[in-house]
Amino acid sequence: MLTNSLVELDRQHLVHPVSSFRGHEARGVRVLRSAKGATVTDTEGRELLDGFAGLWCVNAGYGHESVVEAAADQMRKLPYATGYFDLGAEAPIRLAAELAERSPGDLNHIYFSLGGSDAVDSTIRFIRYYWHAKGQPQRDQFISVEQGYHGSTSMAAGLTALPGFHEGFGIPYQWQHKISSHYAYRNPAQSAEEIVAASVAELRAKVSEIGEDKVAAFYVEPIQGSGGILVPPKGWMKAMRDVCAELEILFVADEVITAFGRTGPLFACEDEGIVPDLMTTAKGLTSGYVPMGAVFMRNHVYETIADGAGAKAVGHGFTYSAHPVSAAVALEVLYLYEGGLLENGRKAGARLMAGLETLRDHPLVGDVRGRGMLAAVELVTDKEKKTPLPASVQPATRLFDRAWEQGLIVRSFPQGIFGYAPPLCCTEAEIDAIVERTRTVLDQTLEDPEIR
């Protein structure tokens, strides 16, 4: 009864993110009621293993009382403090200091946003300001990578390179450029070295085409997330970082998905020993309990902006920048990560990858890839030709529905890719269940006459 009325109210009033409005009206919402650990429960009492940590954000898992207490304490004491007018609060100051201490290299200055998109948007503004301050305002062109995702605000969505975020919105802007993805499984270049060399050559060519003195920054995700969980070959990030250093282009690592244990370490840049000029995070920062994102700047970026502005205000900020409740939550979540969740996530990630590898022999599995607790299984109807599932069957909803029936939530990408990003708290049994339920869905799909 309750469920029916909620479904109806949702249909009438709630606009869902990145959804076909009509498709959603037809299918209706599935209402989640509660969650604990890696398990969520819907309003019908159905329990589901959350193999995607919400939207790859609930890295710590659900139901940590200490996080709830941290938020409640902060709300009682001081629910809000602005950072304008030289004011501040203890939690965001402490959080900035803790993060600066742990971040790669001298990424020592942190601006807190509300999530990932506005963190990316903020980097674009800071970078423009930086080049103005350096006396090179003509450096106003930005490059990102095909299949990349950098958010959904107008400027960030233009760096995003997924057509669905552009069509009908009049973006990307003219100053937003792309180079090809490393997408190893579908890359004409085969070896890791060839893929790295091709990307390096393409970035150099793109910079020459735009004009060497016109490029402001290059954006990458350490692992491309929303484009289908595409893991670059080892050395790719480092090679791209080196090209940017040589050409004096700012290198931005968008770690919105990959930070906070998702790939193993606290930040995925550590996997290749890289220090980007700017870095964005969100999601795992608060483990999704409350909204918050962060822009990390290296000393030289901060100092250039600071000197450029002098006594003037740098005109960028939100009412909820450095929100004390979000910061209190982030501090507690950081404590949980370091108190064992990172360690558990590393073990669980190795088990997840090993488990998914056992699916490689399945007739529908073209590729298995990932790092840590971030993985994908790409489905094809012909392994030799790497033929994707037919778009006509709408793999995104069909595969998602089948997994749901098995008591598993996974991301199902439109091109027929299963995406996994379970909470770091997963037990061995839960990881095994994710793999086994996937196998069941694959077997069912093999029998589906519309797909084969």
Binding site for ligand PMP (CB under 6 A): 115-117, 120, 149-151, 221, 225-226, 254, 256-257, 282
Q: Shortest Cβ distance from residue 291 to ligand PMP (Å)?
A: 7
CB 364 within 8 A of CB 382: no
Q: Shortest Cβ distance from residue 56 to ligand PMP (Å)?
A: 7
* Chain mean position to CA 304: 28
Specify the residue, 116 or 228, whose C-beta has the smaller distance to ligand PMP. 116
Q: Shortest Cβ distance from residue 119 to ligand PMP (Å)?
A: 7
Coil, strand or helix at 186: helix
Q: Which helix (H) or strand (E) segment is 203 a member of? A: helix 192-210
Q: Take residue 403 and report the two structure tokens written for it.
A: 């997994």
Q: Shortest Cβ distance from residue 180 to ligand PMP (Å)?
A: 18
Q: Shortest Cβ distance from residue 447 to ligand PMP (Å)?
A: 33
Let me know if 17 is exposed, middle or buried by CB neighbors in 10 A (0-12, 13-18, 19+): exposed
Specify the residue, 274 or 435, whose C-beta has the smaller distance to ligand PMP. 274
Cβ neighbours, 10 Å, residue 323:
28
Q: Shortest Cβ distance from residue 317 to ligand PMP (Å)?
A: 17
Give long-range contacts, CB 8 A cutoff, 24+ apart: 64-68: 64/287, 64/289, 64/332, 64/333, 64/336, 66/332, 66/335, 66/336, 67/287, 67/289, 67/329, 67/332, 67/333, 67/336, 68/289
**CA distance readout (Å), 143 to 215, 277, 282:** 8, 15, 21
CB 294 within 8 A of CB 120: no
Coil, strand or helix at 14: coil
Specify the residue, 61 or 151, whose C-beta has the smaller distance to ligand PMP. 151
Cα 427 to Cα 284: distance, rounded to the nearest angstrom:
19
Specify the residue, 418 or 451, whose C-beta has the smaller distance to ligand PMP. 418
Specify the residue, 256 or 334, whose C-beta has the smaller distance to ligand PMP. 256
The set of residues, in sequence order, having a beta carbon less than 8 Å from that of 442 and lying 6+ positions away, is 359, 362, 364, 365, 379
Specify the residue, 253 or 441, whose C-beta has the smaller distance to ligand PMP. 253
Specify the residue, 244 or 451, whose C-beta has the smaller distance to ligand PMP. 244
Q: Shortest Cβ distance from residue 120 to ligand PMP (Å)?
A: 5
Q: Beta strand 39-42 with 32-36: parallel, antiparallel or unpaired?
A: antiparallel
Specify the residue, 116 or 172, whose C-beta has the smaller distance to ligand PMP. 116
Q: Shortest Cβ distance from residue 364 to ligand PMP (Å)?
A: 26
